[in-house]
Amino acid sequence: MILELSDLVFVALLGAGGWYWFSGTRVRELAIAAARRTTKGADVQLLDQTVELAKVSMSRDGEGRWRLWRQYRFEYSRDGVERETGHVIMLGKRLKAIVIADSPTIH
């Protein structure tokens, strides 16, 4: 069976989409774990027990390689009533920063 160029492009795009989804799922799990650790250590409550992808871009890591930079948003509460916003910043699979305070986008 001979594949046409359009078929190869489709398969490549499908593979890239699958890779992005799989990679994003793992990074999101790492971001959730980081948010849990941080809120527990700060004696605040992580609301909804999850994070939400807020921004994605490309950035270089410490070795000069391009990585996906992801900013996740989560909500937490100090008193159980008021909701506040925090952010988890990931570069590839590495945690770069966690911000617990109302803050703008950090990239």
Asked if residue 95 has pLDDT above 80, the reply is yes
Instruction: Look up the domain containing 10 and give its range.
Output: 5-100
Asked if residue 74 has pLDDT above 60, the reply is yes
Note whether residue 105 is domain-resident. no
Tokens of residue 35, six digits:
């948010």
**Closest by Cα among 59, 14, 51, 16 to 33:** 51
Tokens of residue 50, six digits:
């999850």
Q: 20-59, pLDDT tens digit by residue?
A: 777 789 999 999 999 999 999 999 999 999 999 999 999 8
Q: What percent of the chain has pLDDT over 90?
A: 61
Note whether residue 16 is domain-resident. yes
pTM comes to 0.78
What pLDDT score does 72 carry?
A: 97
Note whether residue 107 is domain-resident. no
Give the separation between CA 39 and CA 85, rounded to whole angstroms. 12
Q: Side chain identity at 1, as an amino acid letter? A: M
State mean pLDDT over 85-97: 95
103 pLDDT band, cuts 50/70/90, is very low
Task: Name residues whose C-beta falls within 8 Å of residue 93's C-beta, 6 or more positions apart in sequence.
Answer: 26, 27, 30
What pLDDT score does 56 carry?
A: 94
Give the separation between CA 61 and CA 73, rounded to whole angstroms. 21
What pLDDT score does 16 carry?
A: 80
State mean pLDDT over 49-76: 93
Note whether residue 59 is domain-resident. yes
Note whether residue 73 is domain-resident. yes
The total of structural domains in the chain comes to: 1
